[in-house]
């Protein structure tokens, strides 16, 4: 490894710079050092960049950005057996406390002591967990997943948001013949739709207010139907656009109050709804209709056990017969690519809303 770990650092709101940070060292026999090759920009990154916080996570000190990454194993601890130097891996960016009740109970994503890349740490005097937008990143071996030969490093950077969709589909218990509506045609919504289809959904409608994103949903093969909620005429218009079908499952990926309300209105009695998108604050909720329909609402936070491996397996299966025969064109989600030296420009561009998914190369 080189002596420097050039990293992209968020110093404060609207202030990003390149800095040399400490090169991570192996301190546990199960540690792995990964040389980062590809990193996606997430909406949460932009939220920290422009607002300095998401909910209770508030930026108070500099933080290396990035958590959607893949790379190549650079060095390993003495006890590592699952990966070797040179392996290409997807990095699961959140490591829980191995002592927490949540970890022991099988819900480690809810661990209150989670160390999650590029997420502010509220403990006085302690640095923020490092993000993945640097030369090197340290991870326990069991939070790395090897990439199959025909899954590129770019696709490896899509594993993190794809895993959000996997977790939501598991929560909703999506099964054969479910009829699914996905609110939001951003990366998470499109990826969640692809997972819903694989889990058995018979037909999927994707809702957004941007026609170009809706057309992309059709192009890449994740939407059977599309609906523009800005011009489509509310619940009755949506059901009409869905060829009269009433959904049994909603995956809500926007956090927008009108979408949350519409989701309750369109769901079939006894249906399930997963709230994936983050709202800006409290929202009004149609509780009477929710109750009388006996709907079930699930909160969804990141991902849990086996979700990352499932997401990699999805990409493996999708591309096993080559790109030209892939059922879903995941690569078309990557609309913009930047060199690491241009990473600040990448963040400024994504901030304008002009990208579906932007990928930044690792430092050369």
Distance CA 288, CA 360 (A): 46
CA angle 88, 91, 94 (to 5 degrees): 165
* Residue range 43-70: mean pLDDT, rounded: 94
Distance CA 275, CA 252 (A): 5
| pLDDT value at 318 more than 90 | yes
| pLDDT tens-digit series, residues 195-214 | 999 999 999 999 999 999 99
Distance CA 111, CA 203 (A): 35
What is residue 127's predicted lDDT score, i.e. its pLDDT?
80
DSSP-derived secondary structure letter, 134? B
Higher pLDDT, 279 or 51: 51
* Residue range 325-329: mean pLDDT, rounded: 96
| pLDDT tens-digit series, residues 333-354 | 999 999 999 999 999 999 999 8
What is residue 280's predicted lDDT score, i.e. its pLDDT?
79
In this structure, the dihedral spanned by the alpha carbons of residues 76, 78, 84 and 89, taken in order and rounded to 10 degrees, is -50
* Residue range 100-122: mean pLDDT, rounded: 94
* Residue range 247-257: mean pLDDT, rounded: 97
- 64 token code pair: 């290396």
Residues linked to residue 134 through DSSP beta bridges, in sequence order: 7
What is residue 281's predicted lDDT score, i.e. its pLDDT?
86
How far, in whole angstroms, is CA 343 from its chain's centroid?
Answer: 19
How confident is residue 9, by pLDDT bands cut at 50, 70 and 90? very high
Contact 178, 318 (CB under 8 A): no
How confident is residue 4, by pLDDT bands cut at 50, 70 and 90? confident
What is residue 126's predicted lDDT score, i.e. its pLDDT?
74
| pLDDT value at 2 more than 90 | no
What is residue 121's predicted lDDT score, i.e. its pLDDT?
82
* Residue range 246-252: mean pLDDT, rounded: 98
- 83 token code pair: 């990966």
| pLDDT value at 93 more than 80 | yes
| pLDDT tens-digit series, residues 176-198 | 999 999 999 999 999 999 999 99
- Tell me the pLDDT of the chain averaged across its residues: 96
| pLDDT value at 331 more than 70 | yes
Helix (H, G, I), strand (E, B) or coil at 240: helix
Residues linked to residue 8 through DSSP beta bridges, in sequence order: 18
Contact 119, 283 (CB under 8 A): no
Q: What is the pTM of this model?
A: 0.96
- 145 token code pair: 């997943």
Distance CA 137, CA 34 (A): 5
Q: What percent of the chain has pLDDT over 70?
A: 98
Domains for the chain: give ranges and CATH numbers. 5-150+319-361 (3.90.180.10), 164-299 (3.40.50.720)
Distance CA 256, CA 238 (A): 17
Higher pLDDT, 279 or 293: 293
| pLDDT value at 7 more than 80 | yes
Provide the H-helix boundaries in 199-250.
211-220, 234-241
Of 257, 252, 250, the closest CA to residue 281 belongs to 257
């Amino acid at each position: 490894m080189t002596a420097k770990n050039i990293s992209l650092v968020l110093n404060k709101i609207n202030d990003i710079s390149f800095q040399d940070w400490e090169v991570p060292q192996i301190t546990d026999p199960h540690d792995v050092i990964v040389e980062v090759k590809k990193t996606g920009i997430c909406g949460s990154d932009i939220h920290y960049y422009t607002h300095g916080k998401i909910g209770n996570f508030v930026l108070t000190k500099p933080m290396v950005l990035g958590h959607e990454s893949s790379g190549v194993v650079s060095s390993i601890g003495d006890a590592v057996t699952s990966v070797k130097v040179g392996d290409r891996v997807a990095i699961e960016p959140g490591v829980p406390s191995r002592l927490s009740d949540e970890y022991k109970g099988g819900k480690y994503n809810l661990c209150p002591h989670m160390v999650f890349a590029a997420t502010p740490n509220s403990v006085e005097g302690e640095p923020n967990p490092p993000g993945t937008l640097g030369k090197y990143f340290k991870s326990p071996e069991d939070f790395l997943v090897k990439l199959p030969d025909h899954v590129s490093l770019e696709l490896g950077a899509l594993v993190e948001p794809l895993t959000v969709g996997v977790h939501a589909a598991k929560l909703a218990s999506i099964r054969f013949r479910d009829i699914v509506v996905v609110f939001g045609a951003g990366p998470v919504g499109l990826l969640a739709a692809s997972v819903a289809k694989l889990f058995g959904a018979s037909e999927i409608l994707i809702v957004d207010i941007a026609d170009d994103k809706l057309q992309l949903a059709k192009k890449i093969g994740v939407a059977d139907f599309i609906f523009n909620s800005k011009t489509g005429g509310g619940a009755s218009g949506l059901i009409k656009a869905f060829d009269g079908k009433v959904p049994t499952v909603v995956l809500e990926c926007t956090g927008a109050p009108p979408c949350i309300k519409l989701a309750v209105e369109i769901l079939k009695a006894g249906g399930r709804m997963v709230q994936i998108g983050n709202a800006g604050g409290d929202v009004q909720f149609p509780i009477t209709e929710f109750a009388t329909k006996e709907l079930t609402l699930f909160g969804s936070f990141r991902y849990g056990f086996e979700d990352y491996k499932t997401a990699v397996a999805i990409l493996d299966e999708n591309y096993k017969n080559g790109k030209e025969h892939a059922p879903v064109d995941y690569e078309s989600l990557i609309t913009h690519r930047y060199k690491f030296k241009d990473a600040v420009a990448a963040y400024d561009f994504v901030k304008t809303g002009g990208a579906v998914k932007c990928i930044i190369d690792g430092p050369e």
